[in-house]
Structure 1
Amino acid sequence: MTDKNTSSNQHTVNEDEIDLLALAKTLWMKRKTIIGITSVFVVLGLLVAILSPKEFTATSVFVPQVGESNRGGGSLGGLASLAGINLGGMGGSSEIPPSLYPKIVSSVNFRLAILDAPLSVEGLDKPVTYRHYYDSIHDPGVLSYIKKFTIGLPGLLLKSLRGDSDEVVKDANDQLIRVSKDDFEHFKRLDAQISVTPNDKEGFVSLSFVLPEPIMAAQMARFAQDLLQEQVIAYKISNAQEQLKFTEERFEEKKKEFEEIQSRLANFRDRNQNIASAAVLNQQQRLEAEYNFAFSIYTELAKQLEQARIQVAKDTPVFSVIQPVTVPVEKSAPKRPLILIIFIILGGIVAIGYVFGMEFFKGVKEQWVNV
């Protein structure tokens, strides 16, 4: 029984060795085909690596100081308490966590602002906008034209058949945000160029921008960083600013009323200095009561106004820049050796698959002929 099992195992091993030898023999016999197909892919890889446009990536790293609603509560709170101002009742304003920064960057308003960012292009005397650069100046290269022709041609044909127009009809009340087809194409490019990556563990945010020229990449990265921080600050202090605006309006109204009552009281006293009567004294007391009441409201609003200004300063986020935007020295793409290696591997896989596929179909054909 043992001899039979041993014989069976040896037979299986021999069959496996025969199959491997047959596969190796097939590959060796078709080596010219494999080398030819792989060589074609090598040439394609070289063309792609050479014709691919250069890209430069500018990066900045900053730390948003979130959760600082009590910032300045020590020194500012002490100074405010001397003036009779209580800072305890105006906290609790909302925060934007760094994990939401990518959502801000991908919003329509943010991307529309990016399209109008100024760029200093080499060879031009005046800065141009990002939109104008890609509409009229940028040369996408041979590969981009081929890709646009092969992929975009069906879309253009469908568009011409449907009669689509690039004109955008605005809403009657102009309250909805409408984006033109051209701007939408810019948006798709922006999604691939700009990247915001928050690091929740370390607490920093990395922002990068990719463009064909190093100076332009640095300019856009700096513009995007400033715009992102401005929008975060605007959202963070929106409640405090609304309170400040309301308090300022009320303060100006009561200030005007107080000054009018103050003038009326002064004029009354000047006109009635030598008159001593109950009616005059009565009227003077009424004016003084109005003056005292207006003065108390005016003083209270002045305290609230100062309190609102301090709250705006407290709520304003601070961004500590760890790595400022610098002009990149080396290109980030294309990585030509990697492209060539990928095409060589792909060519080898396609060549081997072609050889085995042809052998498989050849065997199937012989079986059908024998039947």
Structure 2
Amino acid sequence: MNSNLKEHYPYPPISQQVDSDEIDLRELFAALWQGKWLIIAMTFVFALGGVGYSLHLPNIYKSEALLAPANEKSGGGLASMASQLGGLASLAGVNLGSGGGSETEIALATLQSRQFISEFIHTHKLAVPLAATEGWDDETNQWIINLERYNPETQTWLKPDDAPADQPAMPTDWQLYKAFSSKLETNKKKDNGLITLSFESQSPVFAQQVVELLVNDINTHAKQEKLAETKTNIGYLRQQLDNTNLTQMQNVFYQLIEEQTKNLMLAEVQDEFVFKTVDPAIVPEEKASPKRALICVLATLLGGMLGVAIVLVRFAFRKDEDENLGS
């Protein structure tokens, strides 16, 4: 009878398994207690490292402006006339085409484009703050210039000693674009269509100035593009008007020219052409990053977890060695 039970139940009773697990758990806690000083030391070292690292990071400030689309008409130029005048344009034999996106979407894409940002940097002379500074002095409200990259007295760029021979001293447009675009952020809310434009910098004053200049420049850029497009349309329509003698088609061209003239007048008097400022950018008084307290907490937790892992690994290897010696 007993032999049959052993054949059917080759494993030890459950009570023995529980006792074995309890013994292993006690051994585990004992190993952790024996390695407590290593865990404490690792936690302390990582905590100090987290504090030092967080204090070494410079304060970053974010200035942002809340914008609203000034005009949400889809398409532009002759395409907008087609929606307003219906079949009149087709009677005139003019191919008005289709819209390619709203003016707001085009302006947002332009705002983040390489060409616009490069022109913006050179127009407002932002190369030095972007590529030749080491920080911001809050007392003097001035940039701390990296003298190894730029000489403020002669206003000349200097090539680093470890730079390749064919590398120019002044940063390229691509390098400036990358440095600028990494700090620029645009976000369009889906529920109400409002747009948040923000820029980060070690200087709160510089961050506010960049956002303000960006809003002004994108409005000016969009306005000039619209004026040039409208004038081109008017010139084309007048040329077609001179080439036809049909009274009906002449009336169509007159209406089209009138509509474009209205667009031209509105564009000339409208300063906030594509974006209206709902909440202007201000000089931020509180830093946006780094989160020093969070960095210190995460570093302390990482040190403690690493210390526990080391102790457990050493315990596992020691136990395997003891079992091998015992066998």
Output the TM-score relative to the length of structure 1: 0.59
> What one-letter code is carried by the residue in structure 2 that aligns with 1:165?
Q
Superposed displacement of residue 195, structure 1: 0.6
Aligned equivalent of 2:116: 110
Q: 1:312 to 1:350 in 2, by over 3 A?
A: farther
What does residue 220 of structure 1 align with?
210
Asked if structure 1 preserves the Cα contact closer than 8 Å seen for 2:74 and 2:101, the reply is no
* Aligned residues with identical type, % of pairs: 19
Rounded to whole Å, the distance in 2 between the matches of 1:361 and 1:233 is 73
What does residue range 327-338 of structure 1 map to in structure 2 within 5 Å?
327-338=283-294
Match of 1:133 among 119, 125, 129: 129
Unaligned runs of 5+ in 2: 76-80, 90-95, 138-145, 147-160
1:212 CA displacement: 0.7
Q: Whose Rg is larger? A: 1
Instruction: From the superposition, tell whether residues 48 and 311 of structure 1 become closer, same or farther in structure 2 (CA, over 3 Å).
Output: same
Residues 29-68 of structure 1 aligned to structure 2 (within 5 Å): 29-68=34-73
- Secondary structure of 1:195's counterpart equals strand
Q: Residues 63 and 321 of structure 1 are in contact (CA less than 8 Å); yes or no, is this contact kept in structure 2?
A: yes
- 1:53 match: secondary structure: coil
Q: Distance in 2 between matches of 1:98 and 1:13?
A: 69
Measure, in 1, the Cα distance between the counterparts of 2:299 and 2:232: 59
Aligned length: 276
Q: Which amino acid aligns with 1:61?
A: L
CA pair 94-19 structure 1, distance change in 2 beyond 3 A = same
Which structure shows the higher helix fraction? 1
Q: 1:36 to 1:65 in 2, by over 3 A?
A: same
Question: Which amino acid is 1:204 matched to?
Answer: L
SS class of match (1:24)? helix
Change (3 A) 1:183 1:346: farther
1:175 is matched with which residue?
none
Change (3 A) 1:101 1:306: closer
One-letter code aligned to 2:280: P
| 1:133 maps to amino acid | P
Q: Which residue does the alignment assign to 2:92?
A: none
- Matches of 2:18 and 2:220, distance apart in 1: 71
Secondary structure at the counterpart of residue 325 of structure 1? coil
| Amino acid across the alignment from 1:355 | V
Q: For 2:311 and 2:176, how far apart are their aligned partners in 1?
A: 44
Going from structure 1 to structure 2, the CA distance change for 1:185 and 1:22 (only over 3 Å counts) comes to farther
Is the CA contact 1:94–1:236 (under 8 Å) kept in the aligned structure 2? Answer: no
Tell me: CA distance 1:56–1:9, structure 2 relative to 1, closer, same or farther (3 Å).
Answer: same
Q: Determine if contact 1:56/1:217 at 8 Å carries over to the other structure.
A: yes
TM-score, normalised via structure 2 length: 0.66
CA distance in 2, matches of 1:367, 1:187: 63
Amino acid at match of 2:236: F
Q: 1: distance between equivalents of 2:274 and 2:108?
A: 19
Q: Against the structure 1 CA distance between its residues 367 and 329, is the aligned structure 2 distance closer, same or farther, given a 3 Å change threshold?
A: same
SS at structure 1 position matched to 2:73: coil
